[in-house]
């Protein structure tokens, strides 16, 4: 049965049944199961973030224009009217999944509901949704079907803030007045119930959810995060959860920046605050048990949503090197696209995604399934590791032999990944010296594989 035709009565029965299930304490998730749950995510390394909704019609950011309006910008009334003409007739969910695959991305995260409260799925609990637009179809259900067809893990971004719901805030006032929510009002428990109903919809109507990506903004504890962590764990125990609902999740989420060192469990790197980086040690290589699973999310230009006026595109080289930077510190790279109002990904984004895919087609073994490498904080290169292989990503091609310290295992061989060319090397107690060709094979990043004992 397709998600878009799911009978309301049957869903309500499922929701009631789910609410009757016993809570599964976090302690029940032992370390072996935790490793198994996160294994696919640790191996994937590279994903596609998708911010899309009626706001794309106005070339404005999702939700923020009514939260923090600017003089001369779109009014709240104009923003609220956008769904009335949202009709992405060129949306091809399979083409979007295929683009992610071409880019070398191993999972996708779709915005099911942003802070404005508009649902890109056919929720039974609101009229503010995609099926009440001229488009009339459940976009999430369409994407879920395409992802399933291509065996692409799909996660759901879900915003705890909801500027449309009267339980979240007094909606008789402008959103700019009370967009952070009003948990002191008696309606607040009803809003949390609404969140539970919608999350139950997402977790029972749309197949396996690879992850839930909350975006709780300020004062996240007001959402009673443990309640929703328990809900997710009992409905879909393998679904991963990020850290933006007031309780620790499976992974942390720095936004628009890459931490300057390998994150550890004792440092919170989530959000957009980079001051916490001072607590990290750029040259340190932590023990595996101290490592903190993490994911940087980043835009290709300066905005999350489609904006025809934003031409400040990051270069393909910058994005490839960002992926290398992230992987060298054990993280995942979630790169965002904002589809156009018609549902098509703009050519500038497609061009960059395909360039990353071309690089990964040659060098992917140095990214997928790897963890942070043994050499950290060295100018001009980054390392990843997988099994007995150390991958050296050379950013700045040297004119003299490449010198590395910090590699303890005996090196058995060295070669360039791009063409398999063996490289001469010398290993002493002081380090490793590798002879390189006069010129880099790839102007983005060239990769050397070191096979060790």
Least confident of 13-22, 242-251, 352-361: 13-22
Say yes or no: domain 3-370 is CATH 3.20.20.80: yes
pLDDT digits 0-9 by tens, 196-224? 999 999 999 999 999 999 999 999 999 99
pLDDT at 32: 62
* Torsion sign, CA atoms 451, 369, 436, 380: negative
Q: Domain segments of the chain: what residues?
A: 3-370, 373-452
Phi first, then psi, for residue 111 (nearest 5°) are -75, 100
DSSP secondary structure letters along 12-44:
HHHHHHHHHSPP--GGGS-HHHHHHHHHHHHHH
Written as six digits, the tokens of 293 are 């699973």
Q: Is the predicted pLDDT of residue 96 greater than 80, yes or no?
A: yes
Q: What predicted TM-score, i.e. pTM, was given to this entire model?
A: 0.92
- Closest to 413 measured CA to CA, from 401, 396, 400, 427: 427
CB 160 within 8 A of CB 215: yes
Phi first, then psi, for residue 255 (nearest 5°) are -120, 125
Instruction: Please state at what angle helix 139-149 crosses helix 93-102, rounded to 10 degrees.
Output: 50
Q: What is the CATH number of domain 373-452?
A: 2.60.40.1180
DSSP conformational letter for 309: T
pLDDT digits 0-9 by tens, 56-80? 999 999 999 999 999 999 999 999 9
pLDDT digits 0-9 by tens, 7-22? 333 333 434 433 443 3
Q: Is 106 helix (H, G, I), strand (E, B) or coil?
A: coil
């Amino acid at each position: 049965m397709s998600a878009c035709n799911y009978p309301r009565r049957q869903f309500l029965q499922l929701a009631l049944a789910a609410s009757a299930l016993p809570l599964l304490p976090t302690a029940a998730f032992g370390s072996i199961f935790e490793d198994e749950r996160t294994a696919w995510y640790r191996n994937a390394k590279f994903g596609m973030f998708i911010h899309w909704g009626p706001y794309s019609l106005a070339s404005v950011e999702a939700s923020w224009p009514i939260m923090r309006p600017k003089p001369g910008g779109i009014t709240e009334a104009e923003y609220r009217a956008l769904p009335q003409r949202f009709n992405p007739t060129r949306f091809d969910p399979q083409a979007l999944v295929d683009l992610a695959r071409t880019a070398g991305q191993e999972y996708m995260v779709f915005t099911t509901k942003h802070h404005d409260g508009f649902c890109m799925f056919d929720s039974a609990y609101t009229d503010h949704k995609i099926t009440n637009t001229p488009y009339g179809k459940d976009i999430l259900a369409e994407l879920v079907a395409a992802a399933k067809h291509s065996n692409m893990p799909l996660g759901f971004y879900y915003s705890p803030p909801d500027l449309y719901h009267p339980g979240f805030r007094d909606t008789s006032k402008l959103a700019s007045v009370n967009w952070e929510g009003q948990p002191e009002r008696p309606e607040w428990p009803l809003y949390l119930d609404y969140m539970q109903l919608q999350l139950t919809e997402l977790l029972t109507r749309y197949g396996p959810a690879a992850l839930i990506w909350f975006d709780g903004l300020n004062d996240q504890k007001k959402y009673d995060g443990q309640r929703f962590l328990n809900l997710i764990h009992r409905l879909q125990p393998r679904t991963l959860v990020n850290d933006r609902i007031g309780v620790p999740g499976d992974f942390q989420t720095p936004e628009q920046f890459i931490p300057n060192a390998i994150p550890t469990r004792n440092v919170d790197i989530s959000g957009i605050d980079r001051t916490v980086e001072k607590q990290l040690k750029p040259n340190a290589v932590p023990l595996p048990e101290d490592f903190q699973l993490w994911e940087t999310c980043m835009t290709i230009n300066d905005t999350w949503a489609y904006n025809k006026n934003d031409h400040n595109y990051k270069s393909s080289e910058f994005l490839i090197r960002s992926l290398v930077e992230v992987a060298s510190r054990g993280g995942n790279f979630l790169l965002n696209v904002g589809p156009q109002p018609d549902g098509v990904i703009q050519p500038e984004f497609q061009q960059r995604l395909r360039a990353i895919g071309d690089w990964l087609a040659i060098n992917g073994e140095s990214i997928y399934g790897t963890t942070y490498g043994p050499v950290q904080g060295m100018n001009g290169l980054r390392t990843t590791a997988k099994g007995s292989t150390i991958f050296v990503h050379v950013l700045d091609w040297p004119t003299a032999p490449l010198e590395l310290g910090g590699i303890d295992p005996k090196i058995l061989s060295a070669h360039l990944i791009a063409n398999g060319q063996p490289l001469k090397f010398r290993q002493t107690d002081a380090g490793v010296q590798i002879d390189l060709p006069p010129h880099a094979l790839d102007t983005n990043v060239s990769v050397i594989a070191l096979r060790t004992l």
